[in-house]
Amino acid sequence: MDKEPGSFRDRSGCIFYNNNNLYRSVTPYYKQQYDHLIASGLYNELVKQELLIPHRELAPGYWPLTDASNEAIYKVLQPEKIPYLSYPYEWCFQQLKDAALLTLNIQLKALEYNMILKDASAFNVQFMNGKPVFIDTLSFDHYKEGEPWVAYRQFCCHFLAPLALVAHVTTGLARLSQMYIDGIPLTLASALLPFKTRLSAFYALHIHYHAKLETKYSGDTGASKKLKHRLSKIKLQRVITHLQSGIRSMKLLSKNSEWVNYYSEFSYTGVAIEHKKQMVKQWTSQISPKRVWDLGCNTGMFSEVVQPFSEQVISFDSDHLAIEKWYALIREKGYNNILPLVLDLNNPAPAIGWANRERKSFVERGTADLVLALALIHHLCIGNNLPLANVAEFFSKLTEWLIIEFVPKEDKQAQRLLVTREDVFTDYNQQNFEQAFGNFFTFEKKEQLTETERTLYLMKSNRKD
């Protein structure tokens, strides 16, 4: 058995792998809580409403007496597998809002069954079938009358602080959640938020006053006793509903960016777009890939084209607002096989946390059957000084099939990147592009796009696994 490196903080159990299958152990320490979760009907209710990931219990004869941590085992669960792991610092604003509201909804439902969430980490949520789902079955504890929500601070750090900073300062602060894996400190959030948020009862209570108390009692060993007040279940429910209403009302300051209207304003005629769509659709349908990655997806035009031919499409773009717009459209159209994520391909999410193994890097979380790299190569090579050979090698490690668009330097979008800088990119041309990618891929098809100087390629990786 191999233990999941990021599963070590909870005495209640751990995630482990055996023969490439994923399991969750339950230790005797969590026996009473787990039994109540099941017997009370809370587990069935949450699974029925698709709020909690379902699992099946394995018969005792199928698992050993100890788990991958050498802890005694009470139960072994086999949860439904998440197709692709994503992290909160890769979600757009609305995705984080949806994950926050999911967590609060579960907390309210748990109280109805005399249980409470002991953990409110954003990492306990994943996206599956187009919506967030809670994945930590062992986060439920017995509710004790009069006690406050033990995970309240964690919820504020993991959800409320990043949402407030993105809504009131800039979307660029979303990646603070990557730096602060245990949640953005409320003192930091309070310092960064504009003064007007102090005039809001919602932010004043849950962030600014909360941060003030943390500063006041920092280092005070008796702080927990001084701050602990009895809170009836009704009052606790009111706190949760107050958080819900405040989060629902949060909105982004702006929904426009430089690249949100890329296809409609800058690059193509209608004829050119339709030709490109036709080729991408035709080639993808011939491949029938299970998983497609759309790198530099913008607002998802081509993710939408390929989704009928794939089990899952993951749409990546560095523009937070483009992903925000695409996520809204996905929800509107009811697509359940598309996951949009914020990703800077020049600086993708690294492996972080304890021993750099608690959260996996972008490249450690799997590969694709097909990668789309459309209107992207000039941004990588001209916009970010990447040699063609480096891009080709990297892409060959991500996928078996590649649909890539070469954008020549004469193209107006490539020229736009050169407006404020010297053109030192003498090696950036179609011949060198084909030579660089030819070292890692076989060229299956090549198509000049109508009314443009751009060329679309279908390639297959030469690598031998």
Q: Which helix (H) or strand (E) holds 167?
A: helix 161-168
Dist. CA 445–CA 405, nearest whole Å = 12
Strands (E), 225-336: 291-295, 312-317
* The pLDDT of residue 244: 98
Q: How would you write 338-370 as a 3-class SS string?
A: EEEEECCCCCCCCCECHHHCCECCHHHHCCEEE
Average pLDDT score over residue span 365-382: 96
Calpha distance 275→279 (Å, rounded) = 6
Q: How many CB atoms lie within 10 A of CB 409?
A: 18
Rounded Cα–Cα distance for residues 327 and 59 (Å): 40
User: Tokens 């005039």, residue?
Assistant: 199
What is the CA 300 to chain-centroid distance, rounded?
A: 16
Pairwise CA distance, residues 186 & 180, whole Å = 11
Tally DSSP H helices, then E strands, for the chain: 19, 16
pLDDT value of position 224: 57
Tell me if residue 38 falls in helix, strand or coil: helix
Mean pLDDT confidence for 46-65: 86
As a whole number, mean pLDDT of residues 4-33 equals 88
The Cα–Cα gap between 247 and 104 comes to: 10
Tens of pLDDT, residue by residue over 402-434, are 999 999 999 999 999 988 888 889 999 999 999
pLDDT the model gives residue 114: 97
Angle between helices 320-333 and 93-112 (to 10 degrees): 50
Tens of pLDDT, residue by residue over 282-296, are 999 999 999 999 999
pTM over 0.75: yes
Separation CA 463–CA 394 (nearest Å): 12
How big is the chain by its Cα radius of gyration, in Å?
24
Q: Percentage of the chain surpassing pLDDT 90?
A: 81
Give CA–CA dist 158/184, Å, rounded: 6
pLDDT band with cut points at 50, 70 and 90 for residue 222: low
Q: How far apart are CA 178 and CA 122, in angstroms?
A: 12
